[in-house]
Amino acid sequence: MSQFSVGFAKVNVNPPLGIGVAGYYVPRFAKGILDDLDVRVLALTLAEKKILLISVPVCGVDDKFITSACEKIQQKTGVTAENTFISATHTHTGGLLCPTEAFEADEEVIRTYADFMAERVADAAKIALEDAKPAKMGYITGWAPERVAYIRRYKMKDGSTLTCPPINDPNIDHPIGELDQRVHVLRFDREGGASIVLVNYGLHADTINGDLLSPDWPGWMYKTIEKALDGTECIFFNGAEGDVGSTHVFPEGGDMNDTEISFDNEMKSPGMARFVGRAIAGTVLQVYDKVHYVDVDKINIIKKLLPVAANVPAKEDLPLAHKYKDLHDAGKDDEIPFKAMQLTTVVAEALRMVRLENGPEVFNLCLTGVQIGHVAMVGIPGEPFTDIGVGIKGAEGWSMIMPCALTNGDAGYFPMQSAYDEGGYEARTSQYKAGVAEKIIEGGKELLEELSSI
């Protein structure tokens, strides 16, 4: 066995009740705790090199939080920001880390929780590094079962494009795109310590709704795997999930068991989270014993800034955008002439236009690449569409490539060029002009090529 060592830690990060809950354009405030929220950290060491892979149970991690967490990590461990990979699981039932206009009155509570979260992340990083033990790594890919995930953007029979259309809407024609059902699994067996399972799969962690705090379906995946595999811990990094949800728009059989239709036309409930989490855990358990073990003789991490054009609004669109924003801010959504997901779309689009009214013209996106032997992770600072993940996975020279959403940033949706041509929620609300997805694919591949040459 090489010098390669792996450590793990999980630390509770439940926020105070009453905190704002992220994920929708309708303010929610935590009234209770459905399931505990844990930060999870995987520490990789080889010779003098140390890399921290951190999974945070929140909707997204903004730049201010990342800076704070990295500073505290360096103070407690000596590991610099260049060697950290901080990724949000994208749960829509976690506490806010960054105040928004909808939660201005609660800014102090949110900032206090963000500081607490950064401190706990640093604590978990320290514990994980101290837990490092000689390890061997195996990798394998499984396939998620049916009924777990669906492309959530649809072409309607009237020619329009709609994200999350109403259940059983006769105007639905077909989903736009194909799922990537690959569930990537890394298994780390350690001398004298628990085994660690790393899971990467692209699916919105938005199956619960409501105002109870929960890690959503990844929490059920953790519980199921760790109960089935005695002496095993689990960590999750969400994949290219920007256009993937868990709602079957034409439910049949038992699809509606233990679930209900939410305000945004999706199947959501604690029962839905349990189903999805158990199903993905089942995929992991099916392949766990058949991983291909490889010697890890190299670990590396690099970051690359990718400039992309901003989706600055046309001047003639701004009056209506300001009107919708003002109505939304005043709690008068019923005066905006749209319902359900169409209402969410026009509100989010209006907020995007007002936010970018004065620029900037360009955003610099930070891509993060991690090498673990012949396996790679590519961190993307927002929500990539499925085809971005598929495109990056097509890079040559690697045994496995895992795209990871919402890593070292939360910069919104990255739709494909075709989505801009078709319209729909994600493209209309994205901060970026058409072509951003294709640039991320190209940039991800360049990052992987650079990693492989180190």
Q: Is the peptide bond before 218 cis (omega within 30 degrees of 0)?
A: no
User: Is the pTM for the entire model greater than 0.75?
Assistant: yes
Note the helical H segments in 36-135.
Answer: 63-77, 107-130
Convert the pLDDT of each residue in 137-163 to its tens digit: 999 999 999 999 999 999 999 999 999
> Dihedral sign, CA of 116, 121, 124, 125?
negative
**For residues 311 and 430, is the Cβ–Cβ distance under 8 A?**
yes
Question: What's the pLDDT score for residue 105?
Answer: 59
Cα–Cα distance, 342 to 148 (Å, whole number): 24
Torsion of CA 151, 153, 154, 158, to 10 degrees: 180
pLDDT recorded at residue 2 = 56
pLDDT the model gives residue 13: 98
Position 432 scores a pLDDT of 94
Q: Where are the alpha helices (DSSP H) in 133-253?
A: 217-228
Query: Mean pLDDT, consecutive 10-residue segments, the chain of 454 residues?
Result: 88 95 86 97 96 98 96 98 98 90 76 96 98 98 96 94 93 96 98 97 96 97 97 97 96 94 90 98 98 97 96 94 93 91 90 94 96 98 97 97 97 91 86 95 97 93
Q: In this structure, what are the phi and psi dihedrals at residue 186, rounded to the nearest 5 degrees?
A: -115, 135
CA distances from 340 to 6, 158, 263, 369 (A): 46, 18, 6, 38
Cα–Cα distance measured from residue 183 to residue 399, given in angstroms and rounded to the nearest whole number: 14
- CA torsion angle for 391, 396, 397, 399 (degrees, to 10)? 50
253: left (phi over 0), alpha (psi -120 to 50) or beta: left
Per-residue confidence (pLDDT) for residue 423, from 0 to 100: 81
Instruction: Note the pLDDT tens digit of each residue in 16-64.
Output: 999 999 888 778 999 999 999 999 999 999 999 999 999 999 999 999 9
CA distance 96 to 59: 8
Residue 267 sits at φ, ψ, to 5 deg, of -75, 115
Contacts with 421 (C-beta within 8 Å, 6 or more apart), sequence order: 434
pLDDT at 415: 92
Residue 102 is encoded by which pair of tokens? Answer: 């909808």
Task: Please state, in angstroms and rounded to a whole number, the distance separating the CA atoms of residues 35 and 179.
Answer: 29
Say what the pLDDT of residue 101 is.
63
The pLDDT value recorded for residue 1 is 44
Residue with tokens 């049916």: 146
Determine the Cα–Cα distance for residues 435 and 77; give it in Å rounded to an integer. Answer: 39
The pLDDT of residue 427: 86
Q: How far is CA 283 from CA 140, 185, 211, 221, 286, in A?
A: 11, 10, 29, 10, 5
Task: Report the C-alpha dihedral over residues 419, 425, 426, 430, rounded to 10 degrees.
Answer: 110
For the chain, what are the domain ranges? 5-301+364-453, 313-358
